[in-house]
Amino acid sequence: MKDYKVKPLTKDQILISLDRLTRFKYTEEKYLRVFKDIILSNMINPRFKRHQLDVMDYSELTKLAEYVINSSLGVDCNSGDDFFINNELKEYENYLFNLDNDVQKLLDNKINYVAAMEFIGEDAPLNLKWLKSLAACCDARQMRNLHALRFPLEKVIICEGITEEILLPEFARILGYDFDKNGVYVISAGGKNQVVKAFYRFSEILKLPIFVLLDKDAVSNSMEIQPKLRSTDRIYLLKSGEFEDILPVPLVEKTLNFATKNISLPLPEHIESGHTVEFLEDFFKKRGMHEFKKAEFAEMVKENLSDSLEVSDEIKNVIEAVKNL
């Protein structure tokens, strides 16, 4: 490779690449994306087209990508490291997913992760902080529990919407079960039909237990999932409407008072019957506020949640089921 020439990756580009390589995403997809993008953007000589990389053997693709990364770090592929971080990452990806021999070639890289550790700061995302803990040769699960790193993952929750993704970890934390300390990862699929698609895909490739959380009206979707349910998986169907409908009324009232600058707003009785979303849409409209947005409201609920007494019985049941998965 002595005739190879590269345009060095910037510090930010290196961090972005490391971030993408260590996120929770199917191994083949994320490695191919990162490696191909790096080669196309930063390999000057020889130059490659996308279609050439698409048919290239994974071993050759890996060598090109690692050359670009290591050159950018000012090291070579044989610079004295035993590549223990690479081995840890390979072991972890195989712990997560069912991987074939071709994907193993992507993981058998000689990226000099040690040289890149100095770029990872205190404000880095959790997956990069976890990567840095691997560089320190610490026990990964002990470090996760100590510093709430989330990684390595132990179980995955697939839910319908962004409200669950934002609030489930907060309710769990209030109840003494920290998702980040226990390796619990929440995926918002974007609707009940998307939950089914996500479960079908993950049940084929993922080795971890999967907890599926569905709204009350998703009975038929639950039945679609049942045939592919593994012994380690669990489906939980809410007993009342959507996730917003199982929020305690006092917590909803507290949140709305916060949103409207602490104007006293006693809530109507019908909200107790599982019509919270309907009420909130009408409330935001009549108050001349912006359109009710679930993500924004969930963030406000998160900010106002302060006590385990503000957690409904059904939410407690959901968290307990996740804990026992």
94 shares a domain with 32: yes
Quick check: is 98 in a domain?
Answer: yes
85 shares a domain with 49: yes
What's the domain range around 170? 155-242+313-323
Rounded distance between C-alpha atoms, residue 197 and residue 69, angstroms: 35
Give the per-residue pLDDT at 285: 79
Residue-level pLDDT, tens digit, the chain, 325 residues? 778 999 999 999 999 999 999 999 999 999 999 999 999 999 999 999 999 999 999 999 999 999 999 999 998 766 556 789 999 999 999 999 999 999 999 999 999 999 999 999 999 999 999 999 998 877 889 999 999 999 999 999 999 999 999 999 999 999 999 999 999 999 999 999 999 999 999 999 999 999 999 999 999 999 999 999 999 999 999 998 899 999 988 898 888 888 777 555 555 555 655 678 888 888 877 776 677 889 999 999 999 999 999 999 999 999 999 999 9
Taking a C-beta distance cutoff of 8 angstroms, is the pair 15, 128 a contact? yes
272 shares a domain with 193: no
Taking a C-beta distance cutoff of 8 angstroms, is the pair 68, 9 a contact? yes
319 shares a domain with 190: yes
Quick check: is 65 in a domain?
Answer: yes
Taking a C-beta distance cutoff of 8 angstroms, is the pair 164, 140 a contact? no
SS3 79: coil
256 shares a domain with 212: no
Quick check: is 50 in a domain?
Answer: yes
174 shares a domain with 266: no
Rounded distance between C-alpha atoms, residue 160 and residue 238, angstroms: 11
**What is the β-pairing status of strands 210-214 and 155-159?**
parallel
Rounded distance between C-alpha atoms, residue 95 and residue 108, angstroms: 15
Quick check: is 149 in a domain?
Answer: no
Quick check: is 263 in a domain?
Answer: yes
92 shares a domain with 17: yes
272 shares a domain with 170: no
97 shares a domain with 36: yes
Give the per-residue pLDDT at 24: 97
* 150: region left, alpha or beta (phi > 0 left; psi from -120 to 50 alpha): left
Count up the domains in the chain and report the number. Answer: 3
User: Of 95, 119, 143, which residue constitutes the final position of a domain?
Assistant: 119
Give the per-residue pLDDT at 34: 98
Provide the CA 21 distance to its chain's centre, in angstroms. 13
The angle subtended at Cα 321 by Cα 316 and Cα 322, nearest 5°, is 100
Q: Please report which residue ranges of the chain form alpha helices under DSSP H.
A: 11-22, 27-42, 50-54, 58-73, 84-96, 101-107, 113-116, 126-135, 140-147, 162-174, 179-182, 192-205, 219-225, 249-259, 276-286, 294-304, 313-323
Taking a C-beta distance cutoff of 8 angstroms, is the pair 292, 280 a contact? yes
Quick check: is 104 in a domain?
Answer: yes
CATH number at residue 188: 3.40.50
250 shares a domain with 237: no
SS3 154: coil
100 shares a domain with 233: no
279 shares a domain with 234: no
